[in-house]
Amino acid sequence: MRRRLLALSLSVTLAVLAALVVPLVAAYAEERAVRLHEERLAAATRFATLAGAPGLDSDPALLAADLARFDAVTTTTRTFLLDTDGTVVAPPGADLPTDVPGVDGAVRRALGGAPTSPPDPLWPWNDEPMVVATPIGRDAQVLGAVLLVEDTAAPRSEVTRRMVVAGLGGVLFVGLVAWLVAVPLVGWVVRPVEDLEERARDLARGRTAPAGRIEGPPELRRLVQSFNDMAASVEHSQRQQRELVADVSHQLANPLTALRLRLEAISARDPEVEPVLAETDRLARALESVIEVSRAGGFDRVAVQVDLAAQVRERIELWAPLFEGHLHADLPGDAGEPLPAVLEEDLVTTVLDVLLDNALKYAPGAAVDVALTRRGDRVELSVRDHGPGVAADEAATLGARFRRLERHADVEGTGLGLAIVLLRAQDAGGHARVEAADPGLRVRVTLPTGPAPGTSAATPGGSGTGCVKMPAAAVGCRTSGTARASASCRSNTTEVKPWARSSASAFSATR
Mean pLDDT of 459-463: 42
d(CA 381, CA 366): 19
Least confident of 52-56, 246-250, 257-261, 312-316: 52-56
**Of 145-159, 171-185, 477-491, highest mean pLDDT:** 145-159
Q: What is the pLDDT of residue 369?
A: 92
Could you tell me which residues come within 8 angstroms of residue 214 by beta carbon, excluding any fewer than 6 positions away?
192, 221, 224, 225, 228
d(CA 229, CA 476): 43
d(CA 182, CA 6): 6
- Does residue 145 surpass a pLDDT of 60? yes
Q: Using alpha carbons only, how large is the chain's radius of gyration in Å?
A: 48
Pairwise pLDDT comparison (277 vs 487), residue with the higher score? 277
Query: For the segment 48-91, what is each residue's pLDDT rounded down to a tens digit?
Result: 887 766 554 445 666 667 777 777 777 788 888 888 888 887 77
Q: What is the DSSP letter of 51?
A: H
Query: For the segment 345-376, what is each residue's pLDDT rounded down to a tens digit?
Result: 888 888 898 889 888 888 888 899 999 988 88
d(CA 15, CA 30): 22
Q: What is the pLDDT of residue 370?
A: 92
Torsion, Cα of 387, 388, 393, 395 (10° steps): -30
Residues of the chain with CATH 3.30.450.20: 2-156
Give percent of the chain above pLDDT 70.
Answer: 76
- For residue 271, say if its preceding peptide bond is cis, omega within 30 degrees of 0: no
Q: What is the pLDDT of residue 140?
A: 74
Least confident of 323-337, 419-433, 453-467: 453-467
Query: For the segment 36-45, what is each residue's pLDDT rounded down to a tens digit?
Result: 888 888 888 8
Mean pLDDT of 262-267: 84
Q: What is the pLDDT of residue 485?
A: 35
Q: Taken in order 39, 41, 42, 47, is the CA torsion positive or negative?
A: positive
Q: What is the pLDDT of residue 482?
A: 32
**What single letter denotes the amino acid at residue 96?**
L
Could you tell me which residues come within 8 angstroms of residue 153 by beta carbon, excluding any fewer than 6 positions away?
76, 127
Element (H, E) at 356: helix 347-362
d(CA 383, CA 357): 11
Mean pLDDT of 299-307: 73
Categorize the per-residue pLDDT at 470 as very low, low, confident or very high, splitting at 50, 70 and 90: very low
**What single letter denotes the amino acid at residue 121?**
P
CATH code, residues 301-463 = 3.30.565.10
**What single letter denotes the amino acid at residue 290?**
V
**What single letter denotes the amino acid at residue 64?**
A
Mean pLDDT of 300-311: 80
Give percent of the chain above pLDDT 90.
Answer: 2
Could you tell me which residues come within 8 angstroms of residue 407 by beta carbon, excluding any fewer than 6 positions away?
none
Q: Is 457 left (phi over 0), alpha (psi -120 to 50) or beta?
A: beta
Among 147, 45, 33, 142, CA closest to 90: 147
Categorize the per-residue pLDDT at 412 as very low, low, confident or very high, splitting at 50, 70 and 90: low
Note the Cα 58 to chain centre separation in Å: 90
456 SS3 class? strand
Q: HSE, CB side, 13 Å, CA atoms: give it for residue 233.
A: 6
Domain 2-156 annotated CATH 3.20.20.70: no
Q: What is the pLDDT of residue 116?
A: 78
Residues of the chain with CATH 3.30.565.10: 301-463
